[in-house]
Amino acid sequence: MQPLLLRNIKQVSMRRVAIVCISGLISFLFFAMPATAEYGDVVINNYAEKQGMRPVIFSHWFHRIRYACKVCHADLGFKFKAGGNDITMFKIIDGQYCGACHNGKIAWSVKNCNLCHSAKPGTPTQVHESTAQELAIPYDRGAR
């Protein structure tokens, strides 16, 4: 028989191990999920592919659910036109456009290249009008 205190400590640390394992599994499943594109998403490819990066998929509904139109289309100055904004990584890192939020504080940072540059190569700038058409390529196969 072990002293009661020692047994308690062991139980607590086993529980910690279990929690760490489970959260690891959840984040693995999350990141292993394929990238998807839905109706209304905007593909932006003015520069990306010419510079050797896959086109960007901007998930419009995902963002519209979270923010009022005004946040982006007035305060951040996004024009209402697919491909109608002159967006570069320099500006994003400088805190403009996507970089106003994707700065590691409000949302994950620019280091996650593949989460934005997730479209199939060759996809032109457009508003996605059919979910049947596959725009995105799975995250895990996306590395360039």
Any contact of residue 134 with ligand HEC (CB under 6 A)? no
Q: Which is nearer to ligand HEC, 45 or 142 (CB)?
A: 45
- In DSSP notation, 60-128 reads HHHHHHHS-HHIIIIIS---SSTT-S---HHHHHTT-GGGGTBSSSSB--TT-HHHHS-BPTTPPSEE-
What is the arrangement of strands in the sheet containing 42-44, beginning at the earlier edge strand? Answer: 56-58, 42-44, 126-127
Region 73-102 residues binding ligand HEC, contact defined as CB under 6 A: 73, 76, 78, 80-85, 87-90, 92, 97-98, 100-102
The residue type found at 104 is G
The minimum distance between CB 8 and ligand HEC, in angstroms, equals: 36
Q: Which is nearer to ligand HEC, 42 or 135 (CB)?
A: 42
Binding mask 30-49 for ligand HEC (x = CB under 6 A): ----------x-x-xxxxx-
For residues 27 and 65, give the distance between their C-alpha atoms in angstroms, rounded to a whole number.
23
CB within 8 Å of 80: residues ≥ 6 apart: 73
The minimum distance between CB 29 and ligand HEC, in angstroms, equals: 14
The minimum distance between CB 25 and ligand HEC, in angstroms, equals: 19
Q: Which is nearer to ligand HEC, 13 or 109 (CB)?
A: 109
For residues 91 and 55, give the distance between their C-alpha atoms in angstroms, rounded to a whole number.
17
Q: Which of 124, 122, 118 has the alpha carbon at shortest distance from 136? A: 118
Binding residues vs ligand HEC (CB under 6 A): 40, 42, 44-48, 51, 53, 56, 58-60, 62-64, 66-67, 69, 71-73, 76, 78, 80-85, 87-90, 92, 97-98, 100-102, 106-108, 110-113, 115-117, 127
